[in-house]
């Protein structure tokens, strides 16, 4: 996670201030996944989702919020992020979630391109950064 935060610092000048509690990612209300190299020891990337419900701006009952999608620079270009995204979507669908939502930023064009190529479209901004012009919120029905 420190490596992910450094990526945000490099791109935005600061880490992600969104509050996360590890308990939010415990099944059936979420999951935190790690991609490993063939050796089974070296982590290559991460991805997670957590259940969200209506009550806050931009959130609806049955939402699953995508968090901490990351692939190490040395492992990029191998389709790992796409595989992780599809795995998380299927896991959220099995848990009864109806829509996957995410918040990213304009300094992550490769992430935006991935999400759009997988059917994600702009939604009402939500979350900690919803007031930021650089924030991009996307969603997809599961």
Specify the DSSP class assigned to residue 57.
Answer: T
Q: Per-residue confidence of the chain (142 residues) as pLDDT tens digits?
A: 888 888 888 888 888 888 889 999 999 999 999 999 999 999 999 999 999 999 999 999 999 999 999 999 999 999 999 999 999 999 999 999 999 999 999 999 999 999 999 999 999 999 999 999 999 999 999 9
Q: What burial letters (b/e) apply to 77-105, b meaning 16+ CB within 10 Å?
A: eeebbeebbeebbebbeebebebbbbbbb
Fold of the domain spanning 2-141 = Aminopeptidase (3.40.630)
Radius of gyration of the chain measured on its C-alpha atoms: 14
SS3 of 71, please?
strand
Alpha helices per DSSP H over the chain: 2-12, 80-94, 109-117
């Amino acid at each position: 996670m420190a490596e992910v935060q450094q990526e945000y610092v490099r791109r935005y000048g600061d880490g992600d201030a969104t509050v996360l509690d590890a308990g939010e990612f415990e099944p059936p209300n979420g999951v935190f996944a790690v991609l490993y190299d063939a050796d089974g020891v070296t982590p290559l990337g991460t991805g997670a989702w957590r259940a969200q419900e209506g009550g806050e701006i931009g959130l609806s009952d049955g939402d699953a919020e995508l968090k901490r999608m990351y692939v190490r620079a040395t492992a990029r270009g191998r389709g790992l992020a796409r595989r992780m995204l599809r795995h998380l979507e299927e896991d959220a669908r099995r848990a009864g979630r109806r829509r996957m939502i995410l918040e990213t930023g304009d300094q992550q064009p490769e992430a935006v391109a991935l999400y759009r190529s997988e059917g994600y479209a702009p939604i009402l901004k939500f979350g900690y950064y919803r007031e930021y012009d650089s924030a991009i919120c996307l969603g997809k029905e599961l």
